[in-house]
Amino acid sequence: MGEVDPVFIQDLEHRPKLTVIEAEGIPLIDLSLLNSADAISDGSLVSDIGDACKKWGFFQVINHGVALEKREKLEKAAREFFGQPLEERVKIRRAEVRVSGYSNAEHTKNVRDWKQVFDFTLQNPIRVPASTHPDEKQVVEWHNQWPEYPPQLREACEEYAEEVEKLCFKLLELIALSLGLPADSFNGFFKDQTSYVRLNHYPPCPAPELALGLGRHKDGGALTVLAQDDVGGLEVKRKSDGEWIRVKPTPEAFIINVGDIFQVWSNERYESVEHRVMVNSEKERFSIPFFFNPAHYTIVKPLEKLTSEENPPRYRPYNWGNFFVTRKSGNFKKLDVENLQISHFRIPVSQPL
Ligand code: OGA
Ligand code: NI
């Protein structure tokens, strides 16, 4: 076993098993119907998506309409960027409490992740609250930072993001329909979206049984659309029994998961599911998640149409922007703000008198 800095070592109970369970995987959904005339009205596609969201919180999509060249162009540029010497990469190091630029010091639940990242937001700049305090009304702007090398990285990022954003809106409509709502029910929240894309590089790790590329977590936003390469390592916690299940790479597919915001909007009909990333001792791995997030001023709460007297709201309303900047700031200060979970806003079930 190689030497690994203790900051990367997971507590015993969270260490990965190196033997992978080859179980029934997350559902695979073919979106080719979306490009045909009666597209979205097709009931089976909508119900397949609804079933996947309920049972797994995760699914993969193929024939999704995102041009493969765009993805490949970005994968190539990412490889080139991360292949540079550290002194080049850190020139665009992410400033504290920001979302854009380079970082090799990501922590999840206070344990360091075995990876490096580059982040950029879709809209540039994005506007977010100046502080983590909900009463603070001041808003600041976060701007993207681009490296000099490789010169085509910026264009590759922007073109890719534009394509995947279209897919996000299609998924948003399908998910709305699957909840029995009009297709455009969620679109309005994404007018001034705070979405961002992350390039992840997981280098080979001498102790894959002790460390994780990314510790267990739930995504805080609305939806995540992830491109993973052919190495594999993503694991999803199966809802039925809590086992960690490996997501086998499917060429050209995207992995979709609903985040915390959908858990709240749907009043828990759909849950945000825990996942993590294993590393391996030989191969490096690249992945590209697109985090589809609403405007900073969005007040997240269960949709009225999805609650009733028998099914009262299970969450208090919260401000997305404050939640977002609190999570971002905690990662730097290594405070335990991963404890800022949506469970914090959960309304206790009232006791019978
Ligand atoms: C994430 C994530 C998975 C992966 O960045 O939130 O879950 O495979 N990434 O990199
Ligand atoms: Ni995630």
- DSSP assignment of 11-30, as one string? PGGGPPPSSPP----S-EEE
141 belongs to a structural domain: yes
Contact 275 CB / ligand 1 (< 6 Å): yes
CA of 235 to the centre of ligand 1 (A): 10
291 belongs to a structural domain: yes
What's the CATH code of the domain at 258? 2.60.120.330
CA of 353 to the centre of ligand 2 (A): 40
Rounded-to-integer distance, Cα 64 and Cα 166, Å: 10
Average pLDDT over residues 5-15: 94
- Residue whose Cα lies nearest atom 10 of ligand 1: it is 287
> 33: pLDDT confidence band, cut at 50, 70 and 90?
confident
DSSP 94-148: PPTT--SEEES--EETTEE-S-EEEEEESSSSEEEESSS-TT---EEEE-----S
Q: Cβ(114)–Cβ(279) under 8 Å?
A: yes
Would you state the pLDDT for residue 338? 59
Q: Name the average pLDDT for the chain.
A: 92
The pTM of the full predicted model, rounded to 2 decimals, is 0.95
Domain range enclosing 246: 6-345
Contact 164 CB / ligand 1 (< 6 Å): no
CA of 214 to the centre of ligand 1 (A): 7
- Residue whose Cα lies nearest atom 1 of ligand 1: it is 289
Ligand 1, pocket-test mutation among 195, 234, 244, most atoms within 8 A of CB: 234
What does the chain come to in residues? Answer: 353
Instruction: Say if residue 130's pLDDT is above 80.
Output: yes
Q: Which atom of ligand 1 is nearest to the CA of 198?
A: 5
- Residue whose Cα lies nearest atom 5 of ligand 1: it is 289
- Residues 271-311 pLDDT 10s: 999 999 999 999 999 999 999 999 999 999 999 999 999 99
352 belongs to a structural domain: no
Would you state the pLDDT for residue 24? 72
Count other C-beta atoms under 10 Å from residue 301's C-beta: 16
353 belongs to a structural domain: no
Please report, rounded to a whole number, the percentage of residues in the chain having pLDDT higher than 90.
82
Contact 259 CB / ligand 1 (< 6 Å): no
- Residues 168-192 pLDDT 10s: 999 999 999 999 999 999 999 999 9
Rounded-to-integer distance, Cα 140 and Cα 25, Å: 42
Contact 199 CB / ligand 1 (< 6 Å): no
Count other C-beta atoms under 10 Å from residue 143's C-beta: 14
CA of 311 to the centre of ligand 1 (A): 32
Rounded-to-integer distance, Cα 267 and Cα 125, Å: 32
> 37: pLDDT confidence band, cut at 50, 70 and 90?
low
CA of 72 to the centre of ligand 2 (A): 21
- Residue whose Cα lies nearest atom 9 of ligand 1: it is 289
SS3 track for 165-176: HHHHHHHHHHHH
Strands 28-30 and 58-62: parallel
Contact 113 CB / ligand 1 (< 6 Å): no
Rounded-to-integer distance, Cα 170 and Cα 183, Å: 9
- Residues 59-113 pLDDT 10s: 999 999 999 999 999 999 999 999 999 999 999 999 876 779 999 999 998 899 9
Average pLDDT over residues 140-159: 97
82 belongs to a structural domain: yes
Would you state the pLDDT for residue 134? 77
Would you state the pLDDT for residue 42? 59
Q: How many domains does the chain have?
A: 1
254 belongs to a structural domain: yes
Instruction: Say if residue 337's pLDDT is above 60.
Output: no
User: Which residue bears the tokens 């609305």?
Assistant: 222
Average pLDDT over residues 195-205: 98
CA of 219 to the centre of ligand 2 (A): 5
1 belongs to a structural domain: no
